Amino acid sequence: MAYPETLTVDDFEFTENTPGEEKVVATHTVDDDKLLMCDLDKPILLALTAKQTVTVSADSTETKSLDPEAPRVPFLPDPTEGEYGDQAFLVAYYDDDGDGSKDTVVTDSTAVKFDSFSGDEDFVRSVTLTETASSQTEVDIYTVVRAGYARVRRRSTGRDSTSDQLHREDAVRWAFTNPDVPEGNREINWDTSNSGINGVIGPEQHVDILYYDDHETLALPTEDTDTPSNLRIALPFSKRSLSETETAEGVRKRIRASMD
């Protein structure tokens, strides 16, 4: 019996990207007795993140031009409307207590605060910050990326490893998807070609997310860094155990043949 299974950030292992190269930045490995099937009826979400840093002098105001600009992601809170939580499409952190950790979210009332944002209905192009505690402060700003493209693929295992694409979109289209307003025609769903065996990932095979841009460096969780709070992955599948008549190797062999 199959049941819904949505792969999220916690289901992936991450690797830093290299600007100018298409690289795998996230990988999920299917359990050794299970298989995944693309759920064509549910929307896909993918919002990768980048970090920018600005230093605000003591008792002063600093305007930071964002490069790249921050897309106003419709399914995340909007800080330009006062929605300053750590889930926002643009979130900034600084070290408020001097312990060396930037873990305080910037709002309009913190010691380092947002004064204003500039841009248009699609992008935030700059932010203005003010320091009020007489201490020069470094601020990290995390935004959802608009540059490059990201794609999802399935990949087999072993010496004869092969792969094929499940879906690809420009990063800016991923950012502007809006599953909450389906009548706006801004949902992203799996390609219909992923029906049947073409959308199956077998035992110990992999779901990869690949990213390419000629200059952008992503902010991703590593052994030394926390997960960016506005990083979003939601890849919908159905999941089931192998039947009594199936073997893991037999399923993998059928899937590899479908990739040819």
Which amino acid is residue 112, in one-letter code?
Answer: V
- Per-residue confidence (pLDDT) for residue 159, from 0 to 100: 66
What is the pTM (predicted TM-score) of this model?
0.94
- Per-residue confidence (pLDDT) for residue 73, from 0 to 100: 96
- Per-residue confidence (pLDDT) for residue 121, from 0 to 100: 94
* CA distances, 76 to each of 16, 89, 126, 144, 181 (Å): 24, 6, 18, 10, 13
pLDDT in tens, the chain (260 residues): 889 999 999 999 999 999 999 999 999 999 999 999 999 999 999 999 999 999 999 999 999 999 989 999 999 999 999 999 999 999 999 999 999 999 999 999 999 999 999 999 999 999 999 999 999 999 999 999 999 999 999 999 876 679 999 999 999 999 999 887 766 667 899 999 999 999 999 999 999 999 999 999 999 998 878 899 999 999 999 999 999 999 999 999 999 999 86
How many C-beta atoms surround the C-beta of residue 161 within 10 A?
11
Nearest to 156 by CA among 258, 77, 232, 76: 258
- Per-residue confidence (pLDDT) for residue 181, from 0 to 100: 72
Which amino acid is residue 32, in one-letter code?
Answer: D
- Per-residue confidence (pLDDT) for residue 168, from 0 to 100: 97
Q: Is 1 exposed, middle or buried (0-12, 13-18, 19+ CB in 10 A)?
A: exposed
